[in-house]
Amino acid sequence: MNSATDQLAIRARDLTKTYDDAVALDGFSLDVWMGSVLTLLGPSGCGKTTALRVIAGFERASGAVEIRGRRVLDADTFVPPDKRRVGMVFQDYALFPHMTVRKNIAYGLPRGRNTGRVDEVMELVGLGRLGERMPGELSGGQQQRVALARALAPEPDVILLDEPFSNLDAALRDRVRRELKVILTEARTTAVFVTHDQEEALATSDIVAVMRDGKVLQADTPAHLYTNPVDEWVATFLGDADVLETDAVGGFADTVLGRFTTPLSGPVAVMTRPEDVQISVGETPNASVAHIEYFGHDQLITLAMAGGVRVRSRIGSRPNYRVGQQCRARAIEARVFKRSA
Amino acid sequence: MTVAAPPARERARQQRALSRGWWTAAILVLIPVAIPPISLLWQVLSRGSGVMLPTDRLFELFLNTLVLTAAVTATALAIGTTTAWVTTRTTIRFRRGWMILAALPLVIPSYVAALTIIGATGPGGMFERVFGIEVPTPYGFVGAWLALAIFLAPMAHLIVTPGLQLIDPATEEAAVGLGSSRLKAFFTVTVPQLRPALVSAGLMVGLYTLSDFGAVSLLRFDTFTRAIFTLYQGQIDRRPAGTLSAILMAVAIVILIAERRTRGRAQYHKTKPPRRRQHTDLNSRQRWLATGFLGTIVTVSLVVPVAVLTYWLTRGLSAGQTIPSIWPEIGRSLTVAIIAATAAAAISIPVAMVTARQSSRMSGWAESTVWGTYSLPHITVGVAVVGFALAWARPLYQTLFLLIAAYVVMFLAQSMSSTQDSIRRFNPYLEEASRGLGHSQISTLFRVTIPLIAPGLLAGGALVFIGVIKELPATLLLRPNEFETLAVRIWSTTSEGFLTRASLSGIALIAVSIVPLFLVMTRELSD
């Protein structure tokens, strides 16, 4: 074993799992580095929850999984979930309704050494004096913290969180998400989140792994992922994007938004993000304002361009345009992908 | 994502959550459960039918049994649905109290009902002695019909009430708002929504009637069960009793299958209980009518039986009659009922687990097996188990073990369905959370699963307890010699015409069933 794999908290290789009528995992591979926060991001039904459950040991799959260098799953090995040292925070928290908060948190600890550690974790997640309450008496945010505290208490090698924010309302979600990030950093725990929310994934993670149809398409830092998606699908899945179809010739792809360099030739798709599309007036116009969505802190302007093409531009709260106004649009940044004919 | 995942995938995921251990345990439970029907079939197929009844007699039995079952089911459903509606949907005073009173006669077994009819009517009956009016004892169809319909109406009431509580009263109001009368709204809007509850109430009442032995025997109405017992007792050759039992079993299974067909998929569409409960305002005339109706039902089904039993008891005592102590009988009844209830609750866990958590063909079969044996008339189970013991397990014949085992398989469905209910109520992720926190399967079972399903285990156990305490025909066939329970005592003393003795046992039997019944009712009839 080399030093690189020593630092891997999770190493999943070629996980494949089929249900009666659907493929859940199809050659899923993933590396999670020690101490990092990774998010599995993908649309509903892409297999991300299944992947998490296979890693935790609640489901079997073909392929191999190592946790901190220990083989927990392969063709001849199946370490049951209670022996994997993996903490799990379930989507609806799965708190034991018949136990107090304190008992819930102490559940994963060996009898005898509970009290100190329970207090420590309750302190860490900021549960204060709620120890004797029953789960049913807590708010959603508090329940979430209990679930997290319970998972953290036995000091697992990794902690897995299945859509941990989905049961919280939007206002609470942002706050809890920030808190959680701080707690995880403080606890120096490796964490794997599952979500279908792009913004959540980009905001919380060190690494985002984008999944589709049971496999990881790309795993990268949020910034790199956003600006350098591997293909058109990943690009559009991660955020607003407009795609212009054209042909690349001699190292260039020409579009209504300008000329972009590319090593490709033949049919290509040029992807731009609204924030990279700039508008100006006074130059030769190539677009007209078709629609304006004004959000206050910014605005999204839909432009009608030659050939019926529509492109969006995100600009600050000023200047203000009116519908029908002629203007010039150009993209300062774009990605060029090969287009399947 | 879990929410948005396709149902097939979700089902598959639940299936993975079950280990082989559960299935192994479930199959070990299902084997004895399947013994009665298989044993009965084997007895008939391998040894021939023996000397059978003449066909015209068989036809008469068949007709009697079916007519009685149909009449009792229709009457009990009508009464039970009415009491359920009045006590859930109207503003009648003491609504909760009536709701419980209407279910209470469930503790009175059919043979005690028959006993009170015999004790109240006829020359020398309570009516003649107290009021000077001699009412002829309604032997035959009328007596059996009355005894069973009145005492099974509470069963319908108990099943229909929760069903009614699930229906949004606003739907009925909407119908009235659209111009239909109250009565029309009830039949066109509420009854169709209530259909699953009505069908399962009809099934329970129907099967119970089919199975009844005590009332038809005491009131001398010839049905299959009575004929089976006579054949069994009177002859050395037990094959005719077996054959007749197999026919009766076939009738029960046909009814069970018919119910499944009618129910279709309706059972899977559980509606959310309505947020608000609206109670229909009654005007004073209607209120009197409703109260009078409930009062009559409760009087006939509860007050009169208790009064008749008390009358005969005090009359006998004041006449200086000495009644042998029934403490030993009480002790025996309690012992077998408690052991059977505990065992049924315990072994219901694996079966309930595989059937509640999976919807595979296997789990379907498991559930049908349990319900199938439950639907068998008790006398046929008795005949089947005797046949099985004599052929395969001679040392078990007439042992307490065999008796209790028969009780457990007979009543397992009740504790299974109650346990299933509890299992469906809790989130399967709780068990995974426990596993993920380092607890083994066994540890998870005892620290998470069992504490969470405890209310269901208790309620199911209580139902089995009541069933066992009341059970008569299988007990008569399977009990060890000299092992007299309360039910056996009532049976033997009435057949000898000692009403005073029987009354004491009847009162004792009602008394010991009351507590577990309350346990069940507070769960089923929670408002």
- Count of CB atoms situated within 10 Å of the CB of B60: 15
Question: Rounded to the nearest 10 degrees, how much is the dihedral formed by the CA atoms of A140, A141, A146, A148?
Answer: 120
A96–B contact, CB cutoff 8 A: yes
> Which pLDDT band holds residue B50 (cuts at 50, 70, 90)?
low
Q: Residue B263: what pLDDT?
A: 61
**Nearest residue of chain B to residue A60 (CA atoms):** B16
**Averaged pLDDT for residues B150-164:** 90
A96 contacts in chain B (CB < 8 Å): 430, 433-434, 448, 452
Which one-letter amino acid corresponds to residue B480?
Answer: P
- Count of CB atoms situated within 10 Å of the CB of A160: 27
Q: pLDDT tens digits, residue range A158-214?
A: 999 998 888 777 777 888 888 888 888 888 889 999 998 898 899 889 999 999 999
8 A C-beta contact, residue B254 and residue B375: no
Q: B1 vs A196: CB contact, 8 Å cut-off? A: yes
**Nearest residue of chain A to residue B452 (CA atoms):** A98
Q: B5 vs A45: CB contact, 8 Å cut-off? A: yes
Lowest average pLDDT, out of B179-188, B312-321, B346-355, goes to B179-188
pTM of the model: 0.80
Q: pLDDT tens digits, residue range B290-348?
A: 999 999 999 999 999 999 999 988 888 888 777 788 899 999 999 999 999 999 999 99
Nearest-CA distance from B28 to chain A in Å? 25
Integer Cα distance of A167 and A172 in angstroms: 10
The answer to whether the complex's ipTM is over 0.90 is: no
| Residue A62 phi, psi dihedral angles, 5° rounding | -85, 155
Cα→Cα distances B490→B83, B218, B293, B304, B502, Å:
30, 11, 31, 18, 5
Upstream peptide bond of A319 is cis (omega within 30 degrees of 0): yes
A83 contacts in chain B (CB < 8 Å): 438
**pLDDT of A225 strictly over 60:** yes
Q: B438 vs A90: CB contact, 8 Å cut-off? A: no
Which residue of B14, B429, B437 is the best one to mutate when testing the A interface, meaning the one whose CB has the most A CBs within 10 A? B437
DSSP state of A111: T
Mean pLDDT of chain B: 85
Return residues 138-197 of A near B (CB < 8 Å). 150-151, 154, 162-163, 194, 196
Q: pLDDT above 70 covers what percent of chain A? A: 97
Q: pLDDT tens digits, residue range A244-266?
A: 999 999 889 999 999 999 998 89
Most confident of A111-125, B272-286, B310-324, B409-423: B409-423
**pLDDT of B115 strictly over 90:** no
Indicate the helix (H) or strand (E) that contains B285. helix B284-298
Q: A80 vs B435: CB contact, 8 Å cut-off? A: yes
Specify the 3-state DSSP secondary structure of A1: coil
Q: Give the closest residue to B509 by CA, choosing from B472, B458, B455.
A: B472
Specify the 3-state DSSP secondary structure of A221: coil
Integer Cα distance of B32 and B402 in angstroms: 11
Chains A, B: CB contacts within 8 A come to 103
